[in-house]
Chain A
Amino acid sequence: MSRFSFSIAIMPREGILDPQGKAVEAALPQLGAATVHGVRIGRRIELTVEADDAPSARAVVEKLAAEFLANPLVERWAIDEGQPLAGVSG
Chain B
Amino acid sequence: MKVGVVVFPGSNCDRDALHGARLAGAQAELLWHEDTDLHGADVVILPGGFAYGDYLRAGAIARFSPIMDAVREHAARGGLLLGICNGFQVLTEAGLLPGALRRNTTLRFEHRWVSLLVQRHDTPFTRGIPAGQTLRLPIAHGEGSFYLADAELDGLEASGQVLFRYGPPEGNPNGSARDIAGVTDSSGRICGLMPHPERASEGLLGSDDGLLLLRSMVESAAQVEAVA
Contacts and interface: CB of A to CB of B under 8 A. Distances in A.
A17 interface: yes
Nearest to B107: A19
A74 B92 CA distance: 12
A73 B107 contact: no
Interface of B: 56-57, 60, 93, 99-100, 102-107, 147-149, 175
Interface of A: 16-17, 19-20, 23, 68-69, 71, 73-74
6 contacts: A17-B175, A19-B103, A20-B103, A73-B99, A73-B148, A73-B149
B100 A71 contact: yes
Given A23-B107, A74-B102, A69 B148 contact: no
Which DSSP category, helix, strand, loop or mixed, fits chain B's interface?
Answer: loop
A71 B99 CA distance: 10
B60 A71 contact: yes
A16 B107 contact: no
A71 B60 CA distance: 9
Contacts of B105: 17, 19
Nearest to A16: B147
